[in-house]
Amino acid sequence: MLDHLTIKVKDFDTEAAFYEAALAPLGYTKGAEFPGAVQFASADGSSVWVSRTDGDVTPAHVAFVGDEDAIKAFHTAGLAAGGTDNGEPGPRPNYGPTYYAAFVHDPEGNNIEACKH
State the residue range of the domain holding 24.
4-116
Number of domains observed in the structure of the chain = 1
Task: Give the mean pLDDT of 93-114.
Answer: 97
Within 13 A of 51's CA, how many CA atoms are on the CB side?
14
Q: What is the pLDDT at residue 52?
A: 97
Q: What is the pLDDT at residue 2?
A: 77
pLDDT tens digit sequence for 77-96: 999 999 999 999 999 999 99
Q: What b-and-e string marks burial along 57-89, b requiring 16 or more CB atoms within 10 Å of the CB?
A: eeeeeeebbbeeebbbbbbbbbbebbbeebeeb
Q: What is the pLDDT at residue 1?
A: 63
CATH number at residue 40: 3.10.180.10
pLDDT tens digit sequence for 17-66: 999 999 999 999 999 999 999 999 999 989 999 999 999 989 999 999 99
d(CA 97, CA 83): 28
Could you tell me which residues are beta bridge partners of residue 48? 5, 40
